[in-house]
Structures are given as structure tokens and as C-alpha cells.
Amino acid sequence: MKYNFGAGPGILPHEVLKQAAEAVIDFNRTGLSLLEISHRSPEFEAVLDEAVSLVKELFGVPEGYSVLFLQGGASTQFALAPYNLLPEGGKAAYLESGVWANKALKEAKFFGDVEVVATSKESNFTYIPKDYTIPADAAYFHITSNNTIYGTQMQEFPKSPIPLVCDMSSDIFSRTVNVADFGLIYAGAQKNMGPAGVTLVIVKDDLLGKTGRKIPAMLNYQVQIEGGSMYNTPPCFAIYVSMLTLKWLKAKGGVPAIEVENNEKAKALYAEIDINPLFKAVAKDEDRSRMNVCFVAENPEHEKPFLKLCDEKGIVGLKGHRSVGGFRASIYNALPLSSVNVLIDTMQEFAEKNK
Amino acid sequence: MKYNFGAGPGILPHEVLKQAAEAVIDFNRTGLSLLEISHRSPEFEAVLDEAVSLVKELFGVPEGYSVLFLQGGASTQFALAPYNLLPEGGKAAYLESGVWANKALKEAKFFGDVEVVATSKESNFTYIPKDYTIPADAAYFHITSNNTIYGTQMQEFPKSPIPLVCDMSSDIFSRTVNVADFGLIYAGAQKNMGPAGVTLVIVKDDLLGKTGRKIPAMLNYQVQIEGGSMYNTPPCFAIYVSMLTLKWLKAKGGVPAIEVENNEKAKALYAEIDINPLFKAVAKDEDRSRMNVCFVAENPEHEKPFLKLCDEKGIVGLKGHRSVGGFRASIYNALPLSSVNVLIDTMQEFAEKNK
């Protein structure tokens, strides 16, 4: 038995993996693999339609928004957001809350001016910058809802006079969000939604077509909307597994139900980190992520033996990102509370042994 | 038993599907699914390394070329080729041999001037244009090696005074090619290499960095080369299945061996079409594709009953593209000669019944 705390591609529900494996051999008793059927077949079109419907239903996507399944990861959206939303000669505002936010704003510079309204770079991104003014003359304000590497998360979203653009790669579907507050939401699937290879984009339709820019087809949200995410062959298998994961989430009671579980998991783990004399949390208290729990050993010499003990217990993926060090427990939707309890027990056992 | 003649996503070898399904549950006895392990894990890095090595070995990729596994399909490469190779104010030359070639040249117009050196549009692309002059002052000459919709294929590649850029989506790894004759080769995986969701790019390194253009990271071949196809999270599963398919191809004797089989399959099927009084081929004789065999019923009223008989025999995916009509038998690498023989038998049975 493995307890998968990896930061991503991350844990998926066991029943989803079972169905996905079956579909690789024989999809819906068609006698064909899902990997070798046409994306224009009624069987696959039903998969894509269901995936879109589930996103709309589970995330409460209002009228006037389009839901797309694209390729290229969030890193491609770093470029497509300004390509599609930033007018020629215009300006975009960015909140620099981590290295992914930094990569996003660098891509925007290919398309116009960038104003960084605030940064927490000086503290190695251990907190979410607050107390900033969003420039009303910018085309949009870009934020990162959860910073996987540093274990920080926006507990609430800023009120913005301009459209909010949000990279939700590492906490989408983990908590209720008012989609109407956003102009554009995007997320690589491989943390909370499915496998690597597909990216969810939720875009407010009336923001499009206003840049004065000509955009190649595959990079153009409008073209992708018109093609229903099938301007060309989509990543069928990754969409299918995402659909299964969304179905699993729905059966669990949807986003509000998983949010309760996620809060329980995070609360239990942070409580142990705070009480255990051998460990301490990395992120500022008020900005602690409920998806990626970053912590370090008070005594650096404890790092290796603790990882060794975790390994013996079947706990995998716990090593922190190289830029932060220590440990990172990613406790995505599919990770059960029981796995968090195994980690907590292991921390306690380690503390006992090292008294 | 199904005989899958679908044009793509197309047939994959049964043993590849079996291994892929196993990896979705437990990858290489790690106790984890391939879908939920880090792309930076030694286990996945070995997959990507092997995929790159197999491409180099099986396709004879010379020194000075990079092999990339990217996202977004060939349609994304329609834009990335000019983005990366066409200098500001420069010109690119295109051969218009089908609708995909047409889409490719339309994308190039976002980045510079386009000269269409020849087209077969007037005949609905039933042949490959020849007798044209490649302009020596263009940055590159773009061709489509095989036109899936019309069943035409370049039997030999033009001698070009400028770098050749080739969309090989529907015939890559089906025949030996001298890679050194090309500046850039790209191919969506979902016909001869793997599932939808990954695109192979083989690019000559010294062509890059010469456009004077600033290119966003994910759209920049140079950045992707430096990142070893892992600038961000790659489409791990699609790469894995491609790697398995390439391994299968190697075990079969590689590209020269599959080319012999492909020639046999095509020869047998075209022979039946030519001799059977009820059917006729669509493409010009000398340009007939060995991957997509397009044919029509001499009597249009035979179309539906023939498809019905095929359905009864387990033959699927035979309906022609709407812009051509009739039938299209895609006989990709993974389709065995025995399946072609089932189709031939069915054509003969149909002719007997309709004498």
C-alpha cells in the first residue's frame, strides 16, 4: 500500500484508475480501445460533453462562460491569457506570489506592459502579498490561487475593478469558488482533476475578440470555443480520465463536500506540525494551503531519517521542492483522511524515536 | 473481433494496449499508477529517454537534430513552424496538397508572407502537385507527406534548395525517410505512433534562433529543447504509449520491415479495388497512399449496403471523410494484413451478391 503525497501529477481515485484501465482495453463494450477510436465518434463526443457538463455543474459555471479542454498545460495559458486578453499597447497587472506567477508574468511581457502590483519574493514566497492597489487601467489582474511549491493559498480572492485571471492549477475543485468573480480561470489537470495532458480553461465570452490582435487558430480561445475543444484532435484519454474524476467528485457530494474533507485533512496535519517539536510549517499561518502542506525539520539532520521512515511506511512524494527544501505533503481531493493519519502517526513515531 | 480501419485516432497494437492498461493500475510495480507519478521521477524520465532514443534509432535521426514530444497536435505546429523558422518580414513556401496543408499555410500568414508554389485544389486534391519551382529566397518549403482525407502520398520528397518542413502526421514510421533531407518534421501521434495528446517534433538545431522574433516559452522550440520536452509537465501517458508502440515497432524489425508489410497491405487492397467492378479508387494512381486507401462505389446506391455488410463483419471506421465521400481504409502500421484480407473478402462477397 502506497500513500501518495506527490505534488503532481498527483493521486487519482482508485476507482477512476480502474475504469480508465478498462477503457484502454475495451471502451464501453465497443470492442475497441478508447485510444483508437475517432474523437468524432458519438462515443467520444459523449465523453467530452459529459466532462463539460460536470465542470459547469460542479463548479457552478454561470451563463456567458465557455468551458474548454486544451493542451499544453498552464504554462501555455501563461502566454494565451495575454495573447487573447491584452490589447495591443495595453497593460496587465500581476500578483507575484511564487515562481509560477513569475513565469506567467514573464510570458505577458511578450504581449504588452506588465505591472507587478505586489510580490513576496523577498521572503521566498512564504506568504501571499496583500495591501496592494489593482490598477483600474490594466486589461486584467492575474493571480495564482494556490502556490504548490511554497504551500500558500489565497483564502479569499481580491475584489477587482478589472477582470480577474486565475491560475487554479493546484486547487481547482478543492473548494467552492464564485466563478462569476473571474474573467478567466485555467488549470492543468494533473493535480485535482485528472492526468497530465489536458488543461481546463473557463473563460467569460464577452472578454474575447477585443485585443486588435490576430491570433493563430490553436492559440485563439474564440476558435477553440467555436470548435467545442475539437478544432483538432483533443487529448481524448486525458479528457476521459478527467471526466471520470469529476464523476467521482460528484458522487462524493461535489465541491462543498470535498471542501469539508480537505479542511479536515489540512487541519489535522497542520495541528500535528504545530505540536510536534521536530517539525515546523513554512508558510505564514493565515496563508497556509489546504492542498500543499510544506514543513521542515527543526533539526536539518532529521530530514533524511524522517524521509527514510516515511519510505518504510509506504509514504511517497513527500520531499519538498528543491527551492524550499524539507517536506511537502500534497493532500489533493483524491487523498483520503486515512492517508493523512498515516503521515501523522509516522511523524509521532519519529518524534518518539528522537526524543 | 473488430477490424479497425479508422483514420485516427487509429489502431494500436494489442500488446501495447495491454501494457498501457497495466500501467494505469500499477506502473512497473511501483504500486502507483503511471497517471499519478511525478514527471520528474526517475521512472518517468526513463520512459521519456527511451521514447527519444527509439525515435532516433528507428527513424535514423542524425546528429544536430533534436527530438521533442510536445502538446497541441500538428495544428499547433502549423503555427509554431513559422513562429520559430520564419524571420520577421520573411516569406515561406507551401505546397497545397489538401485541407491540412491549407490550414498550415493559413497559420503561416500570421507570421509573414506565404507563397503557394502549387495546389491540387481544383481537383479536390486527388493528386500531389508536381512540376513547381521552390523559391530559393523563402525561409522554408512546407509539405504534407500523406493526405489522410484524399488518400494521396508523396512517393518521393522534392529536392529543395531551402529547408524542408514536413507534416508527417499520417505516415510517420510507415516507411524509411532520410531525416537529413528535412529541416523540421512534425507528426501528431494518433495515427502511427500512439494515442492522441502528443506530437512528435524533429528539428534541425541550427535552423533555430534566426527569426529576430521573441517567442513565448511554450511556443519556442529552443526552450523545449533546453527543457528536454519537460519545460512543464509533459503528457506522460501519451508519451508512454508512444514509447511502447515504438518498442513494438522495433521488435517487428523497425521501419524497413513495417514498410514491406505496409506495401503488401496497400498492394493487395488496391488490387482488389482495381479488379472489383463495384468500386474505384479516388487518388491518382501514382500518388496512391499506402496509409489511407480512399475508394468509392461505382454505383452510389451501393454505399450504404456495403457499409452495412462491413459492420456485420466487424469492420469499423471505413466511412470516407465527408469532403470525399465513399470509403477510406486506413491501414496504419498496427493493422495486420489479415484485417486487410477480411476487407478484401467482404468486398468480394459484396460483389458476388450484387452481380
Average pLDDT over residues B127-145: 97
Distance from CA of A42 to the nearest CA of B (A): 12
Confidence of residue A186 (pLDDT cuts 50, 70, 90): very high
Q: Model confidence over A97-115: pLDDT tens digits?
A: 999 999 999 999 999 999 9
Q: Model confidence over A264-283: pLDDT tens digits?
A: 999 999 999 999 999 999 99
Per the annotation, the verdict on A205 as an active-site residue is no
Q: Residue A273 has what pLDDT?
A: 98
Average pLDDT over residues A136-151: 98
CB proximity list for A308: less than 8 A, separation 6 or greater:
none
Residues of chain B neighbouring A148 (CB-CB closer than 8 A)? none
8 Å CB contact of B218 and A25: no
Rounded Cα distance between A117 and A129, Å, is 9
Q: Residue B142 has what pLDDT?
A: 98
Average pLDDT over residues A117-122: 98
Residues of chain A neighbouring B227 (CB-CB closer than 8 A)? none
Percentages helix, strand, coil for chain A (3-state, rounded to 5) are 40, 15, 40
Q: Model confidence over A66-92: pLDDT tens digits?
A: 999 999 999 999 999 999 999 989 999
Confidence of residue A355 (pLDDT cuts 50, 70, 90): confident
Q: Which amino acid is at A173?
A: F
Q: Residue B1 has what pLDDT?
A: 87
Of the listed B49, B91, B100, B106, which one is catalytic? B100
| Inter-residue contact A111 to A86 (CB < 8 Å) | yes
| Inter-residue contact B239 to B216 (CB < 8 Å) | no
Mutate to test the interface with A, among B3, B22, B24 (most CBs of A within 10 A): B24
Give the percent of chain A with pLDDT over 70.
Answer: 100
Q: Model confidence over A211-252: pLDDT tens digits?
A: 999 999 999 999 999 999 999 999 999 999 999 999 999 999
| Inter-residue contact B22 to B30 (CB < 8 Å) | no
* Higher local confidence (pLDDT), B88 or B72: B72
Q: Model confidence over A19-34: pLDDT tens digits?
A: 999 999 999 999 999 9
Question: Which residue blocks in A219-290 are alpha helix, DSSP H?
Answer: 221-226, 236-251, 254-275
B 30-89: CB under 8 A from A: 30-33, 35-39, 71-76, 78-79, 83
CA-nearest of A131, A155, A191, A132 to A283 is: A155
Of A33, A72, A217, the CB nearest to B17: A33
Average pLDDT over residues A137-160: 97
8 Å CB contact of A38 and B6: yes
Q: Residue A16 has what pLDDT?
A: 98
- For the record, the C-alpha cell of B239 comes out as 508519451
Taking the whole predicted model, whether its pTM rises above 0.90 is answered as yes
Q: Model confidence over A294-348: pLDDT tens digits?
A: 999 999 999 999 999 999 999 999 999 999 999 999 999 999 999 999 999 999 9
A203: which DSSP letter?
E
| Inter-residue contact B98 to B126 (CB < 8 Å) | no
Q: What are phi and psi of A349, to 5 degrees?
A: -60, -40
Q: Residue B20 has what pLDDT?
A: 98
Q: Is B254 on the interface with A (CB under 8 A)?
A: no
Distance from CA of B275 to the nearest CA of A (A): 30
Q: Residue B229 has what pLDDT?
A: 97
CB proximity list for A288: less than 8 A, separation 6 or greater:
A151, A152, A153, A266, A270, A281
| Inter-residue contact B55 to B246 (CB < 8 Å) | yes
Distance from CA of B298 to the nearest CA of A (A): 27
Give me chain B's average pLDDT, please. Answer: 97
Task: Specify burial of residue B169 (Cβ count, 10 A radius: 0-12, 13-18, 19+).
Answer: buried
8 Å CB contact of B235 and A71: yes
Host H or E run for residue B78:
helix B73-85
Per the annotation, the verdict on A103 as an active-site residue is no
Q: Residue B162 has what pLDDT?
A: 98
Q: Residue B355 has what pLDDT?
A: 86
8 Å CB contact of B37 and A75: no
8 Å CB contact of A21 and B21: yes
Q: Give me the numbers of helices (H) and strands (E) for chain A, helices first please.
A: 9, 14
Rounded Cα distance between A228 and B79, Å, is 20
A 199-238: CB under 8 A from B: 214-219, 231-238
Residue B258 has pLDDT above 90, yes or no: yes
Average pLDDT over residues B205-233: 97
Mutate to test the interface with A, among B39, B114, B218, B292 (most CBs of A within 10 A): B218
Residue B77, SS3? helix
Q: Report the complex ipTM.
A: 0.98
- Helices B99-108, B73-85: crossing angle, 10 deg rounding: 40
Of the listed A100, A171, A204, A265, which one is catalytic? A100
Domains, chain B, in order of start with CATH, read 14-251 (3.40.640.10), 254-353 (3.90.1150.10)
Q: Residue B148 has what pLDDT?
A: 96
- For the record, the C-alpha cell of B223 comes out as 526552450
8 Å CB contact of B79 and A25: no
Q: Residue A1 has what pLDDT?
A: 87
Residue B18 has pLDDT above 90, yes or no: yes
Cα separations in angstroms, B322 against A4, B98, B113, B319, B326: 47, 14, 31, 9, 8
Give the percent of chain B with pLDDT over 90.
Answer: 99
Residue B66 has pLDDT above 90, yes or no: yes
Of A2, A197, A233, the CB nearest to B235: A197
